[in-house]
Structure formats: structure tokens, C-alpha cells
Amino acid sequence: MKSRTNSTWGGRFSQAPDQLLRDFTESVSCDSRIAVQDILCSLAHAAMLHKQGILTRKEYTSIRKHLQNIHKEIVSGKLVWKTELEDVHMNIESELTRRTAAGAKLHTGRSRNDQVATDLKLWILDTSASLRGHIRLMQTALLLWAQRQGHFIMPGYTHLQRAQPILLAHHLLAYIEMLQRDIGRFLDCEKRTRSCPLGSGALAGSTLPLDRNHTAKELGFIDSNGRPLLTANSLDAVSDRDHAVEFLSACALCGIHISRLCEDLVLWSTSEFCFIRIGDAFTTGSSLMPQKKNPDIAELARGKTGRLIGNLVNLLVTLKALPLSYNRDLQEGKPPVFDSAETLSRTLQVLAAMIHNTNAIQSNCEAAASDPLLLATDVADELVRHGVPFRDAHHIVGAAVAYSEKNNCSLFNIPEQEAKKISPLLPKALSAANKPPKQQLKKRNMPGAPNPELVKKEILRWQKILASSSKESSSTLRASHTTRSN
């Protein structure tokens, strides 16, 4: 029996939905992105309904065959999405039912509420893993740069004022560390996303004998021992979007790290710093000023972080004060998730390519690091070695710096007599610290410091981590190809 109004829920309505309502409530223009996950969900649900004796073998086989065909048509872009069918779920179900009468039984014991929750979780699990791959690409680009030119000495900054000499590799490795924490955050998000809501129904499960363990296993919601992972409360299951918040938060923080890196790169590419040159193919010119070469990729990547943060706040505000359980507001939770994933993935890929095409200018980095004042702390440390309390040492070197500024001479060129007047130990301390910056760096021996030997070891450590993770991901890729072709 078909309703004249709406084939899905029109039974109790006497008027067809108004066009304004249809345009306002449709979501297929956006949620067709979870179509593949929706098909997977439906395949698992149908298999379970058959196992439970709710679908006959014939009905199940027909549903499976037609869902597989629809899947192919979605992937090849052949299937036409209809906004009048509201969302991706109703589009697929109505297409299935058009092809086989058994399609009308697929929604047994299921609601779009548990369906969309499951689809989105599957999508987040997939996308999070692929973003981790893109973060790896960025780490690799930074590491290759560190291997190429990491031995260049440059100033390290605090308050954007030259502070102490470091190695370029040390600076680049700092970003590799931040990105590693981002990978950890995505993994963490995946861990909590991995519990299957399917079978929670609209909000209170079903009176039919569904086997939730079976669908969870089919969809890969399992622990490391292959045991199914189920959501424990049906109200929570259909209204929970924590996984989307965690995903957006991981995207936003990764974006912030990228933005900080880009800020450094923009500064370094200015004539004022002139520490790096970005390859022509990765910079833009000005429509007016012929001399300009602008670091647009880095600027846009910095700018796009605003979207990533905005998307997180968008979802948080949508969720705030939503009563249990499902509310239509939740439909608004998807566009920010899709936008952040796409923004971050494109940003990581283009930036990695730009970094492969970026080089530091050794002479400029080293000239900036050769300022003797960058070794002022090292001089104070030398005084400490002679038993001077650090606070006093700080004052003594401060006075030496003031003398050198006043008399326009370098810290290491203060006449011995004058130095002695400041402190009898100062000439010794000055001569002990008056070494090329690289030699001074060798004195910094604790873990985490920019000692050239330690930095080399860090580069090797990262080389191993990145090599083993690329082996891992290519074997996962091989495994997933084998599974799919089976």
C-alpha cells in the first residue's frame, strides 16, 4: 500500500510535503558522501535479518545483489540523487525497492537514527585512518628536509627575538613531534568511535529478535580479539556525536600545528629573514607588482585553520542543550565533519609537496646565528662552572652586554681589562664560550637538546618510525585489496 504523500512516512499525512520544507530539510546534497557506508550497513543488516529468519534466502539474495549494483552505480557516479527523497538513506532504500519488492523489508527493526549514527562512525573510522596517512606524508617531507639541510645553524627564537643558536633540523623535528601527537589523537578518536549503534532503532531498540553482535562483527566493530563492540545504551547510541567532536578537534589541533609551521615559513621567506626559498611552482606572483613572489600556500594553510576551528565550534554549539535522544539538529553535524576532513587532507598534501620544494639558504641562516649575543647564556654557564651563582652570572653577563652595546664592540671583543672590571672571572668565561656556534651546541648534551649528535640520532629514530609505518600501511593496503576481491 503506497501513500500519496511520502512513500516513507506518508501514512498518517493527508498533504504532500511542501516544496519549501523539502528544500529546507533535504540532506542528500551533503550526506551522499556516506553512501558507501550506508550500503555496507544495509548489507550487514540484511545478512543479520536473514540469519534471524526475518528475511528468506531469496529475499536476502535479491537485496544483496541489488545493493551491490547500486553500490557500483554510486561509485561510478551513475546513480542520480533525488532531493525529494530527503537523504542518502531514503534514496538508497527507494532505489532498492524500485528494483526488488524485498527492498521494502530492509528497514525492519532499523531506523534512520541508528543507521546514520553507524554510517557516520564508519566514515570517520575510514577518514581518520586516511588523514593519519596524510600526516605521515607531512612528517616525511619535514624529515627529508632535515636530512638535506638540517645541519645548517640558525637562530632559535623566543618572543620572535633571536635567542640561542639551534640547528634547522631541530626546528623541523619540533613539528614532526607535534604531528605525531596529532596521529595519536586520531587513533584515540578511532578507539572510542569503534562501537556499533546499529540495532538501537529510533531510540529504544526493537521488539524484533535482532542480533546486534552479528551486524557489529560484519561491519568491523570488533576489539583486538575479534569480539563485537556494541554501544551500551540505545538513547546514547542514536544521539551521540562525541566521535565527530573528537574527530573535528583532532583536525583543528592538527590545523593549528600546520598554521604555526606556516607562520614560520612565511616569516622565513620574507626579505627581512630570507632564510628559505620556496620553489617557483609553489609560490604565486602579484597581478600588479612584477617583483612579488608570495608564499600563498602557507598563508592559505594558515587561513584554513580558521575553518577547522570553526567547524569544531559549530558542532559543539549544535550539540549543546540537545535533549535526548535523536533530534533533527544532528543532521547539521555532518557538513562540518566533511568540510574539516577535506580541508585538512588537501592542506596536508599541498604543504608536503611545497616542503619538498623548499630550501634553506645556509649563508643567511648562519649569518643570523653568528650574532655573539646568542651565546650570552653560554658565557653565564661558564661562570657557573667557576662557582658563580647563576643569578650573579646573569648580572655579570648582562653588564658585559651593556658594555658591548655602549661601546659598539662585540661581546667577545671586550678588552680584557674592561672585562675584568666587571668580574675577574669574565675574561675566562668569555674565551671559553667564544667558539663557533656548532661547537657550543656540542655542550648541550641532555635529551631533547639541539646537540648535533643527538639531532642526528633523532633524525635516525624518525627515519625508522616513518619507514616502518609506511611498510605497515602498504601491507594494510594489500590486505584490504585482498579482502575486497574475496
Catalytic residues: 159, 286
In which element (H, E) is residue 436 found? none
Q: Give residue 293's identity as a one-letter amino acid code.
A: K
Q: Are 113 and 326 in contact (CB under 8 A)?
A: yes
> Using CB under 6 A, which of the segments 38-46, 56-64, 322-330, 436-444 binds ligand ARG?
322-330
What number of chain residues touch ligand ARG (CB under 6 A)? 10
> Given the complex with ligand ARG, which of 152 and 326 has the nearer CB atom?
326
Residues 4/11, Cβ–Cβ less than 8 Å: no
The residue (of 327 and 469) whose beta carbon lies closer to ligand ARG is 327
Q: Which helix (H) or strand (E) holds 453?
A: helix 452-485
Quick one: which segment of 252-260, 261-269, 325-333, 357-365 binds ligand ARG (CB under 6 A)?
325-333
Only segment of 180-188, 328-336, 352-360, 441-449 that touches ligand ARG (CB under 6 A): 328-336
Among 37, 127, 305, 331, binds ligand ARG (CB under 6 A): 331
The b-or-e profile of 433-454 (16+ CB within 10 A means b, else e) is: bbeebeebbeebeeeeebbbeb
* Contacts of ligand ARG in 438-457 (CB under 6 A): none
Q: 3-state class of 463 per DSSP?
A: helix
CB of 25 to ligand ARG, least distance (A): 8
State in angstroms the smallest separation of the CB of 188 from ligand ARG.
25
Q: Which DSSP string corresponds to 169-201?
A: HHHHHHHHHHHHHHHHHHHHHHHHH-SB-TT-T
Residue 35 CB, nearest distance to ligand ARG (Å)? 13
Q: How far is the CB of 82 from ligand ARG (least distance, A)?
A: 14
Alpha-carbon distances, residue 298 vs 25, 255, 305, 443 (angstroms): 38, 12, 11, 35
Q: Which of residues 115-154 bind ligand ARG (CB under 6 A)?
A: 116
Question: Angle between the 112-149 and 88-99 helix axes, to the nearest 10 degrees?
Answer: 120
CA 297 to chain centre: 17
- The CB-of-155 to ligand ARG minimum distance in angstroms stands at 52
With respect to ligand ARG, which residue has the nearer C-beta, 29 or 439? 29
In DSSP terms, which residues pair with 359 in a beta bridge?
Answer: 277
Beta carbon of residue 125, minimum distance to ligand ARG (angstroms, whole number):
18
Cβ distance to ligand ARG smaller for residue 149 or 331: 331
Q: Count the helices and strands in the chain (H runs, E runs).
A: 19, 4
DSSP class of residue 163 equals: E
Which 464-483 positions form the footprint of ligand ARG (CB under 6 A)? none
Of the candidate spans 327-335, 376-384, 386-394, 409-417, the one that interacts with ligand ARG by CB under 6 A turns out to be 327-335
Q: What contacts 259, CB < 8 A, 6 or more positions away?
A: 301, 302, 305
**Least distance from ligand ARG to the Cβ atom of residue 121, Å:** 13
Q: Is 330 in the site for ligand ARG (CB under 6 A)?
A: yes
Q: How far apart are CA 201 and CA 216, in angstroms?
A: 14
**What is each CA distance from 212 to 56, 110, 124, 437, in whole angstroms?**
19, 11, 21, 65
Per CB under 6 A, 31 contacts ligand ARG: yes
**CB-nearer residue toward ligand ARG: 112 or 302:** 112
Does 39 participate in binding ligand ARG (rule CB under 6 A)? no
β partners of residue 230: 196
Cβ nearer to ligand ARG, comparing 159 with 328: 328
| Opening angle at CA 269, ends 263 and 270, nearest 5 | 95
Give the closest residue to 18 by CA, choosing from 28, 30, 6: 6
Instruction: Give least dist CB 328 to ligand ARG, A.
Output: 6
* CB contact at 8 A, 151 and 169: yes
Sole window of 139-147, 326-334, 374-382, 453-461 interacting with ligand ARG (rule: CB under 6 A) = 326-334
Min CB(116)–ligand ARG separation in Å: 4
Nearer to ligand ARG, 31 or 458 (CB): 31
Q: How far is the CB of 130 from ligand ARG (least distance, A)?
A: 22
Residues linked to residue 399 through DSSP beta bridges, in sequence order: none
Q: Which stretch binds ligand ARG (CB under 6 A): 53-61, 324-332, 393-401, 432-440?
A: 324-332
* Burial of residue 477 (number of CB atoms within 10 Å: 0-12, 13-18, 19+): exposed
Query: CB-wise, 19 or 287, nearer to ligand ARG?
Result: 19
The letter for the amino acid at 377 is T
Quick one: which of 27, 37, 139, 404 contacts ligand ARG (CB under 6 A)? 27
Q: Show the site string, 79-118: x = touches ligand ARG by CB under 6 A, - = not.
A: --------x------------------------xx--x--
Contact mark string toward ligand ARG, 281..320, x via CB under 6 A = ----------------------------------------
CA–CA separation, 38 and 85 (whole Å): 15
Q: Is 139 exposed, middle or buried (0-12, 13-18, 19+ CB in 10 A)?
A: buried
Q: Where along the sequence are the contacts to ligand ARG (CB under 6 A)?
A: 27, 31, 87, 112-113, 116, 326, 328, 330-331
